[in-house]
Structure 1
Amino acid sequence: MLIIIISMLNFAYPVLYLHFISKNPEANFTIKDITTALTKNTGRLLVFILGLVFIIFPLLMLLFTLLFLMIFIIIGLPLLLIAMPAVLAWINLSFYDYLTEKTGFFRAFKNGFLLLKQQFWTIVGTTFVMLMLIQIVQGIITMVPYFIGIIYFFSSGQTNMSDPESEGLATMGIFAAVIMILAVLLSYFFNNLVLINQGLIYYSLREENESTSLISNIDLIGADNE
């Protein structure tokens, strides 16, 4: 549970960072301000985690199980490729609304759904491309030390004949640990990139909605004068 909370705090950092930028375009804030905001929102983050795990995830498991079963009738595959980035965008947009607007859990997911529906194909397409690029880059980075380890394993086995098997296994164990740590660090880094991408979408949609609302209010003022 502690790892989940730490991970959620890590994910909340870029959300609050963009929130501070939106409130202070000149970046007139410090890391301490963001850390303080993280501390104050720990309780809300815990509520979001629990709601996500016990309410949202079970529903999503049913949805994706159905889509996986539909793969056998072909139509399930394109639906699955659409649903995955759509669900990710929905959760992230809801997370932004929940954390920055201080809305309730269910209200945040309702607002996130409305934002997603507002420009569905654009958001899904952007999120899909972002995920594909991240998977490619992360795969290339993690495979480099893997291949280096394999090459070293075979070369050391040929050059050192005293106990090549034990030394080779020890070396492979070290490389496996390095790859695992690297994969975890890259996962945190790229997840933050996804969150920043989703944050840009969130604030652009909000700006669009607020501009539309402002224009509507101006039109109403003109109508009242009549």
Structure 2
Amino acid sequence: MFQLYKQRDFSGYIIDTIAFFKSYWKNFFGNYIVITGGILILLCVIYFFVFRDLFTALFSSVNDGIGYDISYYFSDNPVLFVSMLIMMIVLSILFSIFAVSYPVVYLGLIEETGREDFTSSEIFERIRKFLPRIIRFGLYSLVTFFPLIIVATLLASVLVLLVVGVFILILLIPVATVWITQTFYVYLLNEVSFTDAMRQGWKILFSKKFWHIIGSAVVIYFILSILQGMVTMIPYIFMMFSLFTTGNGELSADFGTYISILYIVSFVLSYILSNILTVNQGIVYYSMQEQRYHTQALSEIDLIGQNVE
């Protein structure tokens, strides 16, 4: 059984993230696809038709040598555009609720049951139970984290002429990611207020293992960025290949379709891979809980006491 409550350092966070997926990848991603697959497919279908028509129009204008005003695409199809936009917003919100909370709930079930496999209905019911808190977290974050990140970015930009400004800008993304994710874990898995969760998330982030936590997040983020970047670069490679192989400098008529499919693949991959970073932060969360409360150590003492009796 994977041990959640365990004191770790930089290498431990990364190694145990890999170990987790070696043990749980089939059940984890299988249930993830079952729970989010329907919404994800609908999103992909909408994205495909929107991007296909948009890219086709753009690339046709390139071939014709005529500049294309993107506003025409929306003004010529107002009803379709508004309908698609509403559907995209609704489906994106629904998908985000399940996608973001899924790793947190999954680790929570491991903590409670100690099992190595779960059914999609178990996970879905737990997410449904947490739904009010998930929605509140999203709303509270809009008026707390979002303004704070904007202010921090502006301050760092002002200080960019100094070395400290560059340093802050580099750290801003991993620091914000860790703080928000840790706050989410605390808020979802404990009966605390949002402000208390923010404070606890802050304490976890700026603990004695700050550089271990940030370092592991950066490494995982860097690996995921490379994987996503490899897929994202494919459309550009195809674009250049198509441009040079047509012989007349024109792009293929179906190029808009191809690039839309590739961007959708990149979109799906980014959401799937984001689970790895969230699980990594979950391992950080449980490690810090062990460091603070010695949960695993106390559990082992209780077990020894029961065996003696």
Q: Which residue of 1 aligns with 2:212?
A: 122
After superposition, residues 129-168 of structure 1 pair within 5 angstroms as 129-155=219-245, 157-158=246-247, 165=250, 168=251
Match of 2:141 among 40, 43, 52: 52
More helix by share: 1
1:187-222 deviation line (CA, Å, top 9, x unaligned): 21222111011011111111221218978xx9xxxx
Task: Specify the alignment match of 2:273 in structure 1.
Answer: 190
Match of 1:102 among 167, 177, 191: 191
In the other structure, the counterpart of 2:59 is none
1:153/1:172 contact within 8 Å kept: no
Deviation digits for residues 132-178 of structure 1 (CA, Å, limit 9, x no counterpart)? 222122112221343134313432x23xx8xx84xx35332112212
Which of 276, 285, 299 is matched with 1:202 structurally?
285
How much has 1:22 moved relative to structure 2?
A: 1.4
Equivalent of 2:114 in 17, 25, 44: 25
- Between the aligned partners of 1:35 and 1:116, the Cα distance in structure 2 is 29
Q: Tell me which stretches of 4 or more aligned residues in structure 1 moved more than 4 Å.
A: 212-215
Q: Provide the TM-score with structure 1 as the length reference.
A: 0.83
Would you say the 8 A contact 2:186–2:197 is kept in 1? yes
Contact 2:103 2:278 in 1 (8 A): yes
Aligned length: 209
What amino acid is aligned across from residue 196 of structure 1 in structure 2? V
Structure-2 change in CA distance of 1:53 and 1:12 (3 Å): same
TM-score, length of structure 2 as denominator length: 0.62
Cα distance in 1 for partners of 2:190, 2:97 equals 18
**Contact residue 149 and residue 171 of structure 1 kept, 8 A:** no
Instruction: Describe the shift of the 1:213–1:146 C-alpha distance in structure 2 as closer, same or farther (beyond 3 A).
Output: closer
Cα 1:200–1:101, aligned 2, differ >3 Å: closer, same or farther? same
Match of 2:84 in 1: none
Alignment correspondent of 1:84: 173
Q: 2:191 aligns to what SS in structure 1?
A: coil
Kindly indicate whether the alpha-carbon contact (under 8 Å) linking 1:146 and 1:175 is maintained by their aligned counterparts in 2. no
> Cα–Cα, structure 1 residues 26 and 213, in superposed 2: closer, same or farther, change >3 Å?
closer
5+ unaligned residues in a row in structure 1: which ranges?
A: 219-226
Q: Distance in 1 between matches of 2:268 and 2:295?
A: 41
Counterpart of 1:136, as a letter, is I
Gaps spanning 5+ residues in structure 2: where?
Answer: 1-88, 302-309
User: Match for 1:11: what amino acid?
Assistant: V
Q: Where do residues 205-224 of structure 1 align in structure 2 (5 Å cutoff)?
A: 205-211=288-294
Aligned identity (percent) is: 30
Q: State the SS of the aligned residue for 2:254.
A: helix
Q: Secondary structure at the match of 1:27?
A: coil
Partner of residue 7, structure 1 = 96
